[in-house]
Amino acid sequence: MNHADSGHKTANQTDLEQPFSSLPLRESLLKNISSLGYETMTPIQVQSLPIMLKGEDVIAKAKTGSGKTAAFGLSLLNHLNAENFAVQALILCPTRELAEQVSQALRRLARLMPNVKILNLSGGIPMKPQLDSLRHGAHIIVGTPGRVLKHLGKETLSLHKLQTLVLDEADRMLDMGFLDDIKEIVSACPKRRQTLLFSATYPDEIKKLSKQFMQHPKEVFVEASHTQHDIEQRFYEVSTQANKFPLLKALLLHYKPSSTLIFCNTKQQTAELSDKLVEAGFSSLALNGDMEQAERHQVIIRFANQSCSILVATDVAARGLDIKELPAVINYEIAFDHDVHIHRIGRTGRAGNKGLALSITIPSDAPRVCLIEENLSHPIVWGNMSELTNSDSTTFQPDMVTVCLDVGKKDKIRPGDILGALTKDGNLPGDAIGKIDIAVLCSYVAIHRNQVDKAYRYLQNGKLKGRKVNVKKLK
């Protein structure tokens, strides 16, 4: 491998208990990291940060939730010159949701660095506010390829002073067909720059991409941080495809997970399976690449705030989902690639929680199942369908219901405004209010099923920051 450091490192080759203070970071960053409660680095940070801080190119294979955003965020903030009001870093993300998560994470990291401007240029957001913000300049741009390209075409964005280009979730951007857009964006960047590529998997397409865009990149491969003790993994085999759905129902009724992410291999399967689950009385939504951005955003919010129990998704659509506590993952279809299987099940059992990963197979899946077993440190555990109980019990509905308000960031609405109105003026108990998500044009509030009618009546008749709002329940 002549284009990269052939002796790539993996995280298990290093003592991982390393403090951030061991790095040559500016004082304001170290102080802020400490105030945020970060003490020791994650494996991806240990391996990649020293290389990135030297200004070298890096290819990092790391999963969502590994600490990769803080890794590249700290590096580019450390190199930033706040007095130079030009775009010095560009981070490309596959979706608006991920771009928003990255923007928020960078703003947290930059809290003690005065006058650092971070701007999100994503699709699905009105152009005018972005144009207004760009007129005043920005230091860091986070965005989706299509919208960044649009600004470059309008000459409202200049990358002439760019120092660092980050391709976040690069494999997913390729899956979504962004290769040509990325090439065009790279052609607008200075040839002398640092390029950082982060990817959950490392297919041949990523290797080709790195050869095109990067200068002698160092490779960092971080092994999955989950151990077999975190995740209970079981496989169940049925004789035909038609027998999968009865087994899926039995698994859901036996294990009763409060939230379940179910994987299918095609967009059509996600819609069909979700519809069948709803017909059977379950709370389910589908997530796939054919959905409009607004609809996709709404589905993710409802699953994340626990007003929908089951999300049926393709691998591409589920990337960038950041659900911290996910009790169960079910593979309704076995992944074609072992890396993808590991990435799927790695979404459960996080942050010290126990996880459950169930896979439904048919005899023709045998080669893929064998490949998965070859990479395990122990034989596959096969579940016994006769041991599944409660298969006759009724399905349960989620505790929360989402209501949507027609006010958002454009109206200067904050979560505290909504919480205050519902608890003080609406007289709802505080623990009846769940997650509050503020979008540009609207807001989503999760409210306990027992209190949602009371909240709905108040929001229909009361006021929020002195104005009437339109409200609807999402079903």
Residue 3, number of CB atoms within 10 A of its CB: 16
Q: Look at residues 387, 414, 444 and tell me which one is the last residue of a structural domain.
A: 387
Q: Look at residues 178, 202, 221 and tell me which one is the last residue of a structural domain.
A: 221
CB contact set of 27 (below 8 Å; sequence gap of 6+): none
Which two three-digit tokens encode residue 54? 């030297």
DSSP characters for 30-82? HHHHHHTT--B--HHHHHHHHHHHTT--EEEE--TTSSHHHHHHHHHHHH--T
- Domain match, 383 and 413 both: no
3-class SS of residue 133: helix
**65: domain CATH number?**
3.40.50.300
Q: With contact defined as beta carbons under 8 Å apart, do 363 and 226 qualify?
A: no
- Domain match, 411 and 434 both: yes
Nearest-10 Cα torsion for 12, 168, 69, 44: 10
In sequence order, the β-bridge partners of residue 361 are 237
Residue 394 domain-assigned (yes or no): no
Residue 352 domain-assigned (yes or no): yes
pLDDT recorded at residue 11: 42
Residue 4 domain-assigned (yes or no): no
pLDDT recorded at residue 149: 95
Residue 430, number of CB atoms within 10 A of its CB: 8
Question: What is the Cα Rg of the chain in Å?
Answer: 23
CB contact set of 205 (below 8 Å; sequence gap of 6+): 171, 174, 179
pLDDT in tens, 424-454: 888 899 889 999 999 888 999 999 999 999 9
Pairing of strands 471-473, 118-121: unpaired
Sign of CA dihedral 105, 110, 114, 117: negative
Pairing of strands 260-263, 284-287: unpaired
pLDDT recorded at residue 7: 44
pLDDT recorded at residue 351: 61
Q: With contact defined as beta carbons under 8 Å apart, do 339 and 204 qualify?
A: no
Residue 84 domain-assigned (yes or no): yes
Phi and psi based region of residue 158 (left: phi greater than 0; alpha: psi -120 to 50; beta: remaining):
beta
- Domain match, 359 and 458 both: no
- Give CA–CA dist 247/400, Å, rounded: 27
3-class SS of residue 330: strand
pLDDT recorded at residue 395: 73
Residue 323 domain-assigned (yes or no): yes
Residue 395 domain-assigned (yes or no): no
Q: Look at residues 330, 360, 387 and tell me which one is the last residue of a structural domain.
A: 387
3-class SS of residue 108: helix
Phi and psi based region of residue 90 (left: phi greater than 0; alpha: psi -120 to 50; beta: remaining):
beta
Q: How far apart are the first and last CA of the chain?
A: 52
CB contact set of 17 (below 8 Å; sequence gap of 6+): 40
- Domain match, 288 and 206 both: no
- Domain match, 80 and 145 both: yes
**420: domain CATH number?**
3.30.70.330
Number of domains, the chain? 3
3-class SS of residue 302: helix
- Give CA–CA dist 414/270, Å, rounded: 34
Cα–chain center distance at 183: 24
Phi and psi based region of residue 16 (left: phi greater than 0; alpha: psi -120 to 50; beta: remaining):
alpha
Domain boundaries, position 404:
400-473
Residue 247 domain-assigned (yes or no): yes
- Domain match, 453 and 358 both: no
Residue type, 260: T
- Domain match, 153 and 238 both: no
Cα-flanking dihedrals φ and ψ of residue 149, to 5°? -65, -40
- Domain match, 250 and 300 both: yes
- Give CA–CA dist 460/405, Å, rounded: 10
Q: With contact defined as beta carbons under 8 Å apart, do 348 and 231 qualify?
A: yes
- Domain match, 185 and 243 both: no
- Domain match, 199 and 56 both: yes
Determine if the pTM surpasses 0.85: no
pLDDT recorded at residue 264: 95
pLDDT recorded at residue 194: 97
- Give CA–CA dist 366/150, Å, rounded: 46
Q: With contact defined as beta carbons under 8 Å apart, do 312 and 284 qualify?
A: yes
- Give CA–CA dist 87/106, Å, rounded: 15
Closest of 444, 446, 452 to residue 309, by C-alpha = 446
pLDDT recorded at residue 174: 87
- Domain match, 373 and 240 both: yes
Name the one residue in this structure whose structure tokens are 């279809």.
333
- Give CA–CA dist 234/360, Å, rounded: 9
- Domain match, 239 and 331 both: yes
Return per-residue pLDDT of the chain as tens, 475 residues.
334 444 454 444 344 468 888 899 999 999 998 888 787 888 899 999 999 999 999 999 876 667 899 999 999 999 999 999 899 999 999 888 889 889 989 999 999 999 999 999 998 788 888 999 898 889 999 999 999 999 999 999 999 999 999 999 998 888 888 989 999 999 999 999 999 999 888 778 888 888 889 999 999 987 654 444 578 899 999 999 999 999 999 999 999 999 999 999 999 999 999 999 999 999 999 998 788 878 888 999 999 999 999 999 998 778 767 677 789 999 999 998 877 888 888 888 776 678 899 999 999 999 999 988 887 777 889 998 888 887 666 777 899 999 999 998 888 888 889 998 898 888 899 889 999 999 888 999 999 999 999 999 988 887 888 888 899 998 8
